[in-house]
Chain A
Amino acid sequence: MGADIFEISINIVKLIAIFLLMVQMVPILVWVERRGSAFIQNRFGPNRVGPLGLTQLIADAVKFLFKEEFVPSQGKKFLFYSAPVLALLPGALAFACIPLSAPIYVEAFKMFGSDFGPYRFAFQGFEIGVGIVFVLGISSLGAYALLMAGWSSNNKYSLYGALRACAQMISYELALGLSLVGILLIYGTFDFAEMIAYQQGPLNFLFMGNSVTIPFLPNWGIFYQPIGAILLFCAMFAETNRTPFDLPEAEAELVAGYHTEYGGLKMLMFYIGEYGHMLVASALMATFYFGGYNLPFVSTESVNLFFAGLGFGATGASVATAFFLHLVLFAKILVFLWIFIWVRWTLPRFRYDQLMDLGWKKMLPWALGNTIVTAVVILIMRTGGAL
C-alpha cells in the first residue's frame, strides 16, 4: 500500500474516506428521495425537523439505533445477522475501484528532519488494471446477501422476495455484461483511467481509414454507443432492485420482500447497500459514457495549469485540480441519481413474466446485436472498407 509511513497512512485514510463518502450519501439520498417524491406527488414530504427537514435524517438514525433486536423463531441466527453486513460489501468495494478524480502529485518535501519523496496518489481506493471486471464480479456478490436474508428469516414472503431478487439480478447481469462489450470494443481497455483519458477532447474517430473530427461534440462514449448506454442504464435499474424492477419488494404481494423480518439498523444497512449500488451505477455511467471526471473539451492538464496560474504551488495546484474535477464527477453522478429517483416515482411496476421477458428476450438480443454491429462497423471503419 505504499513505500513509507506517509504514503501508507494517506492510503488508509483515503480508503476509509471513500467508504464514509458512500455511507453519508445514503441519508442525503433518502432525503432527496422523500422530498422529490413529495414534489412529484404534490405533497410536502419531511419538512418539520430542522431547515427543509434536513435533520430528519439524524432523527431517523437515532431512532434506528434504539430499536429492539429481533430474530424470528427458527430463524438462522448467524445468517440473519451476517446478511445485512454482507450487503454493505459490494457497494463499498466497487465504489472504491472507480477513479473519482485526477491523481494527486505531491512533490518531495522535508518533515521532522527526514525526506519524503515525490508521491502519486490516485483519487480512488485502489488502482486495479481489470477495473470493470472487478466491479461486475463484486457487484454480483449482492445476490448472496439477499438470499441469506430471505433464507434465514423463516418467512415465506422473505424467501420468495429473495428468490425473485436473485433470479432478476442474474437475468439482468447478462444484458449488463453484454451491453458493455460494445464500449470495450471501442476503448480497447478494462482500465477506467484509460477510458477517461480516451474521452478527452472533441469527437474524433476513423471513418473509412480517415480521421474525422467534430469540433462541437465531446469525445464521450455516449456518441459511440447510445444503445449500449440505454441498455446498461436499464440493467442497472434491475440490478439495484429499483422501480420499475422492484419485484423483490412488491409490497402488495410480498409485504417487504427479503427484508420483511428486518428492522432498525439492519434494515438501514440493506438501504446503504442499495444506495451504494445506485452510486456505483451512476459513477459507471458517468465514467463509461459521459467523460468521467473531465469537463467537456477541457483536459486535466489545462485545469492544472489554470490552478497553477492562480499562484498555487505544484502540489497545491494538483490538489485543487483533483478536488475541482471530483466536483465535476459528482455533478454528473447526481444527475443519474436523480434519474433513478425520478423514474421510481413515475413508472409503475412490471409483472414478473414481463420482467423476465424484457431481460432475456428483448435486452439480451439487443445487446447482442449492438455488439455485432459495433464489431462490424469498427472493422469496416478501421480498414477503410478494403477487407
Chain B
Amino acid sequence: MSALVAIIFLGTFTLLFGSALIYVASILGPKPKYSSVKDTSYECGMPIQETGHSKVPIKFYLTAILFILFDIEIIFMYPWAVTYVDFINEGHGIYIFSAMAVFLAIFILGLIWEIKSKALEWE
C-alpha cells in the first residue's frame, strides 16, 4: 500500500516537473511567429512531399503481434524461475523441470516455425 502511494506520488511529481519545464520555456522563449512555410514539417528544405500520416510497412505490425505472443510466454517463466530451487529442495525437481520442458518445447517449436515462415525477414 505504501509503495503504491509512493509510486503515484513520484509519477505525479515527474509529470508536473515535465509540464512545468515546458510551461517555463514557453514563457521565457520568444513568441512564435507563424507563417505557412515555417509551419510545415521538416523535409530537408524542399516543399513537403509526404506527410507523417502516410502508409507504413505492415512488417512493424507483424513484429508487434509476434512480440505479444513471445512476451507472454516469457512472463510465464518468471514465477517458475523463482520457485524452481524450492521445488528441488522439496524433492519435486523432476516434476518442475519437466513441466517447464513441455512449455519450452512448444516455445522453441514456435520460434523455429516463425523463422522458417520468413515472418522475420526484412528486405
Contacts and interface: CB of A to CB of B under 8 A. Distances in A.
Interface in A348-384: 352-353, 356-357, 360-361, 364-365, 368, 371-372, 375-376, 378-379, 382-383
Contacts of A255: 42, 44
A249 B118 CA distance: 27
A184 B52 contact: no
Interface in A258-280: 260-261, 264-266, 269
B22 interface: yes
Contacts of A69: 22, 25-26, 29, 32
Contacts of B3: 126-128
Interface stretch (A82-90, A285-293, A334-342): A82-90
A249 B86 CA distance: 46
B101 to A, nearest CB: 8
B25 A264 contact: yes
Interface in A299-325: none
B51 to A, nearest CB: 6
B46 to A, nearest CB: 12
Interface string A151-183: 101111111100100110011011001100100
Contact of A352 (B53, B70, B86, B122): B122
A368 B108 contact: yes
A65 B51 contact: no
Nearest to B3: A126
Contacts of B42: 72, 155, 157, 255, 260-261
B82 interface: yes
Contacts of A382: 85, 88-89, 93
Given A167-B60, A174-B67, A375-B100, A181 B29 contact: no
A178 B41 contact: no
Interface string A36-75: 0000000000000000000000000000111111101111
A230 interface: no
B94 A387 contact: yes
A361 B107 CA distance: 14
Nearest to A268: B21
A2 B9 CA distance: 14
Contacts of B108: 368
Contacts of B43: 155-157
Contact of A156 (B52, B67, B97): B52
Contacts of A25: none
A215 interface: no
A81 B22 contact: yes
A190 interface: yes
A19 B40 contact: no
Q: Could you tell me the dominant secondary structure of chain B's interface residues?
A: helix
B113 interface: no
A16 interface: yes
Given A1-B5, A255-B42, A378 B14 contact: no
Given A184-B82, A372-B104, 16 more contacts: A1-B9, A19-B14, A65-B24, A66-B28, A67-B29, A72-B39, A74-B51, A85-B22, A150-B52, A166-B64, A174-B67, A185-B85, A261-B41, A266-B25, A378-B88, A383-B88
Interface of A: 1-2, 11-12, 15-16, 19, 64-70, 72-75, 81, 84-86, 88-89, 92-93, 96, 125-128, 133, 150-151, 153-160, 163, 166-167, 170-171, 173-174, 177-178, 181, 184-190, 255, 260-261, 264-266, 269, 352-353, 356-357, 360-361, 364-365, 368, 371-372, 375-376, 378-379, 382-383, 387
Interface of B: 2-3, 5-7, 9-11, 13-15, 17-19, 21-22, 24-26, 28-32, 36, 39-44, 50-54, 56, 59-60, 63-64, 67, 70-71, 74-75, 77-78, 81-86, 88-89, 93-94, 97, 100, 104, 107-108, 111, 114-115, 120-123
